[in-house]
Structures are given as C-alpha cells and as structure tokens.
A and B are shown apart, each in its own frame.
Chain A
Amino acid sequence: MKLKFRAPLATTIAIAVGLVVLVGYFIPAAQTLRFIFLRMGIVLAAVALLVGVLNLISVHFRKISDKDSKGGYSLVLILALLATLGIGIYDMFKAHMYGNPNFEWMNWIFTYIQRPIETSLMAVMTVSLTCAATHLLRRKLNFLAIGFFIILLLVLMGTISLSMINFPILEDIRSWIIHVPALGGARGLLLGIALGTITTGLRIITGSDRPYEG
C-alpha cells in the first residue's frame, strides 16, 4: 500500500522538476528555479558517488571471498582505494589546520600513479584500435567494410608525418575526406541522435517511460 502511494508521488515530483528544468532553458524567468534544481541534482549525484563507492567495495569484497575469481586484484583495488581516501583526508586536514591547500600528496598520486597508468592504457588502446582495423575485413567482407578500411588507410597515411611516405596529395585527400564526406555523414548521424535524444528525454520527463521504480 505504501508503495502504491509513494510511486505516483515520486513520479509527480520527477515530472514537475523535469518540466521546470526544461522550461528554464526557454523562458529566462524560470532560469533561477532551473539552476536551483540543477544544483540539487548535482548534490544528489555527489551522494550517489558515495553510495557507488560502497557498492564497488562490496562487489570486490565478495570477489575476494569467492574462491573461483581472481580476488588478488580486488584486494589491491580496495587497499588502493582506502590508501587514497586516507591520504586525501590527511591532505584536507593539513590544508585546514595549517592553511596550506596545495594537496601535495594527492597531486603526487595523480601525477605519478594515475596519469602514467591512464597514459599507458591509452597507448594500449591505440594498438587495440589498429588490430581491430586489421581484423575488420576478416570479420565482415562487404562493400561497406572495404570502404571503411580503404578510407581509414587513406586518412592514416595522410596523417603520418614520416618524410619517406610524405605525399602532399595524401594530405589533400585526408583533408577532403575529413571536411566533406566525414563531416556531412557525422552531421547526418548527429541529427538522428538529436531526434532520438529529444524523444527519449520527453518520454522520461512525462513519465511515459520509467524503467526504474522511483
């Protein structure tokens, strides 16, 4: 019975807030209210981050206790998470106590651990993308796939700045591909995506599509 009451109330509030935010984009008078709701949304999203971190910890705790899975990685993840949290709290404490908000330790973690790891992952991704391009023709041998592959090669060759394979015509072809067919195609796709986004947004705002219970 409680649920039956709660769901329509939550829906009504969600629809009302959604409509106010939408109208706020078009009517300047409703902008103040729109910003208030958006700020509330951002605060709620920050709270969700805390819930999400707890969810992440619980998932990895379960993996550690599960004998079949590789629990070692999960243990490292939890230890790293707790260590970073501890260092962050220490930096904040230091900033407030001594008035020195340089977050020295956190900056060190991001500069010497997070950034190098993400950069190396980016490098791995470049190799993965190249491999995927070479596997494309093996996976799908049709007109579109062949066209995709040839255009990819032309754009890559026009981008490479090695003196031995530096042909000005390739640069011109690359420039034409990027500025004419690729740009036109991207605009067409973006128009379709924009239309899909509008209808999805309207369905969510009006409550006609509510996958979650609320």
Chain B
Amino acid sequence: MTITGLIGMLIVAIFFGLMIIFNVVRSGSKKARLRSISAFTKLKQAIGLAVEDGAQIHLSLGRGGVTSPQSASAFLGLSMMKQVMRIASAGDSPIVATTGNPALAILAQDTINSTSKEVNLNRRGESSEGKLAGLTPFSYAVGSMSSIRDDRVSANILAGWYGSEIIWLSEASERQNSFTLAGTAHLPAQAIMYATVGEPLIGEELFAGGAYLDAGSMHEASLNAQDVFRWVLVIGILIGILLKFAGFDQIIHNLLVGIQ
C-alpha cells in the first residue's frame, strides 16, 4: 500500500469513526441545534401548504448516475424525497419525481414504493411515481418542465446533479410562482441557481438536507464530523500560509512529492 493510499484510508476511517462517536453521543439526547437555513424552513412551510391545499410536490432528482462521482447528490436527493414524502403523507395528492438517469429513476420508484408502504399511503386513483424525463441534459430539462408547469404542483424541489440546464427548470418554476428550492454539487449550476431560484442551497448545504428534514441522527452526526474536518482544513490552510511566508514552502512541496 502506498503512503497516499494509507493517508486516504486513514481519513475515511477517522471520518467514519467521528460519525459513529457523534451518533452515539447524540442518541438519547434532544434534537441537535442546527444553524437556521431559510430554504429548509420555507420548504417545511411549503410542504404544509401543499398538504392543506391538496396540491402536488414535484421533486427533480437531477441526472447524476449512481456509478459516477455525481452519485452523492443523487442519493441525497433520494433521501430528501423520502423525508418529503413522510412529511407530506397526510396530503391527498401524490408526489411526482423526475430524473434524467435510468438507474436513478428505478431507485426513485423503489423509494416511493417503500416510503408509501412505510407511511401506509393507500391513495385511490393516482399514486406517486418516479419518471425518467429524458436521457440527455437538455431532453431531461425539457421533459421535467411539463411536470413543473403542471398547475397542480405548488412546490418544486430540485435536488441532485445538474449542469447549466438547471436555468430552464428554475425559470419555469419561478414563472409558475411555485415555491422553489434548489441544490446541487456542480459549481456553475450553483451560480445559476443563485441568480434564478428563490431558495438556493449554496456549497454543501444540499448535503445537510437530511439533517434539516429530520432524516435521522446519523445525518446530524455527519454534519458534526464535517465541522470537525472543516476546522482541521482551516487550521491546515492557515499553517500552510504561515509556512509559505516563512519560506518553508519548497521543503513541504518536496516532502509531499516524496510521499507520492
């Protein structure tokens, strides 16, 4: 095993260890105090309003594949969908989920089925469904727009992997005057979201979705572990800056090259 591999494995192990520790510490205690993110507060209100009005909620899960690096945002979108279904279970209207990836569409349908069973959703007539809206970025965006423009939809949640095509989804949703929450891990798409969406999730806020929607203590423990590592990174960067000012940067560069 190379030293780089060993360091990588160590980081993953420490991360997992921290998640377990925070989860154990949190078990039995009250709900964690999380900083307020207005997007999630308003999302809960929008779900409540949709339930009261008998309106539909549309979840767009993006086009991230499950075997690609974009899978994390895709899985997070699924987790958020599960929680939204749980919160909206008292409502009359089914949830609509659209994806741009076939494997994700299957997982979305499976999530809908399992959550419907879990919350004993036995609606007559229409039932929630996961649709494959299109297979290329543009066809996915165009295919999802018909669900967004449906007059029965009162809230649109865009959570997953998108490119610049997110502009059409967000613009369509804003034109419908629907509540729109959007989050992605793709930076150019985040910039577009900031300009076009009422409630954008910036940076890693998307990955906090589970914790803010009460998906379980492991989600909250993940946030704590992230915070620990964030501070480690901040301290590391500051030390790096100081060492560079002190003229040790070449020594460190040589050391890192030697490790590789």
Residues of A within 8 A of B (CB): 22-23, 25-28, 38, 41-42, 44-45, 48-53, 55-56, 59, 69-70, 117-118, 121, 125, 128-129, 132-133, 135-136, 139, 148, 186, 188-193, 195-204, 206, 208-209, 211-214
How many residues of B are counted as interface, with CB atoms below 8 angstroms from the partner's CB atoms?
74
Q: Note all chain A residues with C-beta closer than 8 A to B110.
A: 212-214
Q: Does B222 contact A (CB under 8 A)?
A: yes
Please, which residue of chain A has its CB at the minimum distance from the CB of B185? A193
Q: Note all chain A residues with C-beta closer than 8 A to B194.
A: 148
Please, which residue of chain A has its CB at the minimum distance from the CB of B163? A125
Judge whether B8 and A132 touch: CB under 8 Å: no
Q: 6 nearest interchain CB pairs? A: A52-B102, A196-B207, A192-B204, A213-B114, A199-B222, A26-B5
Please, which residue of chain A has its CB at the minimum distance from the CB of B218? A208
- What CA separation (Å) do A193 and B185 show in the bound complex? 6
Name the distance in Å between B1's Cβ and chain A's nearest Cβ: 5
Tell me the residues in window 1-22 of chain B with beta carbons closer than 8 Å to chain A beta carbons.
1-2, 5-6, 8-9, 12, 15-16, 19
Q: Note all chain B residues with C-beta closer than 8 A to A214.
A: 110
Interface centre among A27, A28, A203 (most CB of B within 10 A): A203
> Which residue in A28, A133, A188 is a CB contact (below 8 Å) of B1?
A28
Judge whether B105 and A52 touch: CB under 8 Å: yes
Judge whether B206 and A42 touch: CB under 8 Å: no
Name the distance in Å between A30's Cβ and chain B's nearest Cβ: 10
Tell me the residues in window 216-260 of chain B with beta carbons closer than 8 Å to chain A beta carbons.
216, 218-219, 222-223, 225-226, 229-230, 233
Tell me the residues in window 179-197 of chain B with beta carbons closer than 8 Å to chain A beta carbons.
185, 187, 190, 192, 194-196
A-B contact count (CB 8 A): 178
> Which residue in A125, A196, A206 is a CB contact (below 8 Å) of B16?
A206
Tell me the residues in window 86-120 of chain B with beta carbons closer than 8 Å to chain A beta carbons.
101-103, 105-107, 109-111, 113-115
Judge whether B111 and A211 touch: CB under 8 Å: yes
Q: Note all chain B residues with C-beta closer than 8 A to A53.
A: 102, 132, 135
Extra inter-chain contacts (17) besides given A133-B195, A199-B223, CB under 8 Å: A41-B67, A45-B102, A55-B131, A117-B138, A118-B138, A135-B196, A136-B196, A148-B194, A188-B203, A189-B187, A196-B72, A196-B207, A201-B71, A202-B12, A202-B19, A204-B75, A209-B218
Q: Does B65 contact A (CB under 8 A)?
A: yes
A-B contacts, 5 of them at CB < 8 A, read: A196-B204, A199-B207, A200-B207, A211-B81, A212-B107
